[in-house]
């Protein structure tokens, strides 16, 4: 689009790339007319070795993709257009003003684009999407912005390419049904010029549904790709069905032309006897399930009772052990008290003096030895 970068499609690159699709998000340099843009995109595909591609274009990107598909239809496998248009009539400006877009300062060009953004209170996802786009626009320089506005405002239409695109390129038009900046008349002209295209509508997405409703947009893109027989890994329906284990018809005309996965024929209506037999089988199955449920409940109760018994025995053993330990402690205390009491009694009793002999003299004076000893 006018204000986006390659990073704004990060959600689609992540979602679809993780499933096996090869996604390339493109941000083009400054081209000042539509023919040079188409030539530049052709050279880009040639350099990266892409001979044919599926294009998802938003707003101005979708319009430029139509130009490319009109000139090089053999390089486009299919297209998805989101909030896009087939001519620039509502955006036309005077030639002098368009010429000045290459000279206006960067801040003026950014302000001019931001003035077209939705105003007022927005749902949270829409507001986040707008904020992200504004951040990305800050990375664009004056030439990027001026060239994009020039492509948007130059008189141009894809009317001359309509027949070629309708004939050769499958298309899905993916739009939001809430308020957007794109005039409703431009949408109607897109629908009118491509009546063969499939329509996919997102209820709430705003001007940047690939950000605000990225999962839904990715889903619609994948549905479109599967509809044109492109499956994850870049394989066709036959190869994908073989890898996935799907059964396929071998002789139907549908397989020869489109290679669709086999669709089972509609089932016949069942007879009353068959319905009664199925009802009886369901009743028997219900009884078996009920019996199994009761058995499991009984088993659960038995396990709980066993756990309670084991826990009670454990507590009982623990209490008995605690009592034994308590008795041992009491015995030790009694023995200590008895020892202490005996020690106190020994201290209180007077000491016994040694016995004396008949001839012992307590007050014997020092001197000569007694001859009678």
Q: Per-residue pLDDT tens for 17-45?
A: 888 888 999 998 999 999 999 999 999 99
Q: How much is the mean pLDDT over the chain?
A: 81
Q: Mean pLDDT lowest for which of 50-54, 56-60, 282-286, 333-337?
A: 333-337
Question: How sure is the predictor about 349, in pLDDT bands with cuts at 50, 70 and 90?
Answer: low
11 and 221 Cβ atoms separated by less than 8 Å = no
**Of 291 and 259, the one with more pLDDT:** 291
Chain length of the chain: 373
Q: Which residue has the tokens 């018809």?
A: 249
Q: How far apart are CA 200 and CA 22, in angstroms?
A: 22
Tokens read off for 202: 């997102």
Nearest to 161 by CA among 88, 64, 228, 54: 64
From the CB of residue 152, how many other CB atoms can be counted at a distance below 10 Å? 22
User: What band does 167 get if pLDDT is binned at 50, 70 and 90?
Assistant: confident
Q: Does 359 have pLDDT greater than 90?
A: no
Mean pLDDT for the stretch of residues 245-249: 55
pLDDT computed for residue 257 by the predictor: 41
**Would you state the pLDDT for residue 117?**
83
* pLDDT over threshold 50, residue 252: no
CA 141 to chain centroid: 33
Distance, CA of 223 to CA of 347 (rounded, Å): 108
Q: Per-residue pLDDT averaged across 61-87, rounded?
A: 93
Residue 248: the pLDDT is: 52
Q: Averaged over 44-49, what is the pLDDT?
A: 93
Residue 78: predicted pLDDT: 94
* Residue 348 binned pLDDT confidence (cut-offs 50, 70, 90): low
Cα angle, residue 57 at apex, residues 56 and 63 outer, rounded to 5°: 140
Q: What is residue 262's predicted lDDT score, i.e. its pLDDT?
A: 42
Binned at pLDDT 50, 70 and 90, residue 48 comes out as: very high
Residues above pLDDT 90, as percent of the chain: 28
Asked if pLDDT for residue 116 goes beyond 50, the answer is yes
* pLDDT(335) > 80: no
Q: If DSSP states are collapsed to H, E and C, what string results for 323-364? A: HHHHHHHHHHHHHHHHHHHHHHHHHHCCCCCCCCCCCCCCCC
pLDDT over threshold 90, residue 63:
yes
Output phi, psi for 201, to 5 deg. Answer: -120, 140
What integer is the mean pLDDT of 228-253?
Answer: 63
User: Computed over its alpha carbons, how large is the radius of gyration of the chain?
Assistant: 47
pLDDT at 66: 94
Q: Please name which of 261, 172, 169 lies closest in space to residue 224, comparing C-alpha atoms.
A: 172
Question: What are the b/e assignments for 242-271, b being 16+ CB within 10 Å?
Answer: eeeeeeeeeeeeebeeebbbeeeeeeeeee
Q: Comparing C-alpha atoms, which of 39, 173, 158 is closest to residue 89?
A: 158
C-alpha distances (whole Å) from 11 to each of 7, 23, 137 are 9, 11, 18
DSSP state of 247: -
Decide: 86 and 159 in contact? Cβ < 8 Å.
yes
Partners of 78 in the beta sheet? 54
Task: Kindly state the average pLDDT of the residues 126-144.
Answer: 90
More confident residue, 309 or 234: 309
Q: Average the pLDDT over each of 297-301, 320-324, 357-361 and give the range with the smallest value.
A: 357-361
pLDDT for position 206 = 85
Helices vs. strands in the chain: H and E counts, helices first:
14, 4
Has this prediction a pTM greater than 0.85? no
Give me the pLDDT at residue 330, please: 63
pLDDT at 253: 45
Place of tokens 């040079």: 36
Task: Return the minimum-mean-pLDDT range out of 74-78, 201-205, 213-217.
Answer: 201-205
Gap between the Cα atoms of 264 and 270, Å rounded: 17
- Work out whether strand 76-82 and strand 53-58 pair parallel, antiparallel, or are unpaired: parallel
Regarding predicted confidence, which is higher, 237 or 307? 307
> H or E segment at 57?
strand 53-58
Q: Are 45 and 137 in contact (CB under 8 A)?
A: no
């Amino acid at each position: 689009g006018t204000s986006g970068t390659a990073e704004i499609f990060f959600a689609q690159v992540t979602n679809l790339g993780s499933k096996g699709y090869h996604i390339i998000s493109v941000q083009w340099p400054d081209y000042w007319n539509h023919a040079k843009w188409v030539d530049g995109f052709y050279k880009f595909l040639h350099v990266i070795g892409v001979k044919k591609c599926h294009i998802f274009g938003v707003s101005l990107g979708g319009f430029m993709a139509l130009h490319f598909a009109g000139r090089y239809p053999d390089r486009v496998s299919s297209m998805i257009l989101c909030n896009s248009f087939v001519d620039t009539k509502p955006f036309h400006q005077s030639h002098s003003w368009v010429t000045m877009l290459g000279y206006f300062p960067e801040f003026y060009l950014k302000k001019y684009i931001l003035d077209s953004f939705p105003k007022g209170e927005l749902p949270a996802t829409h507001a986040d999407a707008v904020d992200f786009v504004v951040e990305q626009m800050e990375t664009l320089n004056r030439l990027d912005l001026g060239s994009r506005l020039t492509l948007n405002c130059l008189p141009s239409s894809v009317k001359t390419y309509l027949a070629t695109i309708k004939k050769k390129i499958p298309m899905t038009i993916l739009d939001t049904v809430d308020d957007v900046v794109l005039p409703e008349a431009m949408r109607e002209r897109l629908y009118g010029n491509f009546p063969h295209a499939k329509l996919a509508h997102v209820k709430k997405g705003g001007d940047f549904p690939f950000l605000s409703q990225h999962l839904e947009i990715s889903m619609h893109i994948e549905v479109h790709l599967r509809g044109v027989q492109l499956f994850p890994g870049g394989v066709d329906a036959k190869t994908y069905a073989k890898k996935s284990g799907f059964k396929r018809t071998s002789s139907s005309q549908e397989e020869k032309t489109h290679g669709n996965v086999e669709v089972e024929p509609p089932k016949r209506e069942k007879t009353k006897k068959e319905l009664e037999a199925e009802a009886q089988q369901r009743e028997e199955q219900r009884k078996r399930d009920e019996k199994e449920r009761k058995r499991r409940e009984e088993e659960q109760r038995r396990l709980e009772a066993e756990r309670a018994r084991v826990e009670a025995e454990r507590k009982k053993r623990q209490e008995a052990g605690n009592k034994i330990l308590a008795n041992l402690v009491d015995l030790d205390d009694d023995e200590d008290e008895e020892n202490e009491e005996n020690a106190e009694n020994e201290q209180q009793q007077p000491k016994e003096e040694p016995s004396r002999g008949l001839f012992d003299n307590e007050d014997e004076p020092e001197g000569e030895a007694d001859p009678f000893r």
